[in-house]
Amino acid sequence: MKSDPSGKTTIHIEFDNPVAAEHFAQWLCESGEQGYWDWMAYREESEEGNITAFFEYYSTKDESKDVDDDDRYGDFLEDNTIRAECRRLDDEDDSDDDADEFEDADTQR
């Protein structure tokens, strides 16, 4: 895969219709990413570096609001972009409250 000069890589998925795209995005957000993280736990056993993506589905975020407040976030995929921050599954140095929230939600599933 190619990267831009900053080292970032974009994967573009084009759907024939918005309903299919919405179903895919909801699946990824609600359960697909867990399967991905299970697979990445295996990959991290043999690979170094920040290779696991943690997904962000909201382009706007009101940092003044609590992570549990629905008003903290804008609309789901309002700009049709899923952003990914890459780190390791066992990265305990991450202090991002939102990442902790997502990890807690996945634990409860």
Residue 70: inside a domain = yes
Helix axis angle for 97-108 and 33-44, nearest 10°, is 100
Res. 93: pLDDT tops 60: no
Enclosing domain of residue 88: 18-108
pLDDT of residue 92: 60
pLDDT band at 7 (very low <50, low <70, confident <90, very high): confident
- Beta carbons within 8 Å of 1's beta carbon, 6+ residues apart: 9, 11
Does a structural domain hold residue 10?
no
pLDDT of residue 26: 95
Q: Is 91 contained in some domain?
A: yes
- Structurally, how many domains does the chain consist of? 1
**Which pLDDT belongs to residue 107?**
44
Domain-located, residue 33: yes
Other Cβ atoms within 10 Å of 52 Cβ, number? 21
pTM: predicted TM-score of the whole model, two decimal places: 0.72
pLDDT of residue 70: 85
85 neighbors 54 (Cβ within 8 angstroms): yes
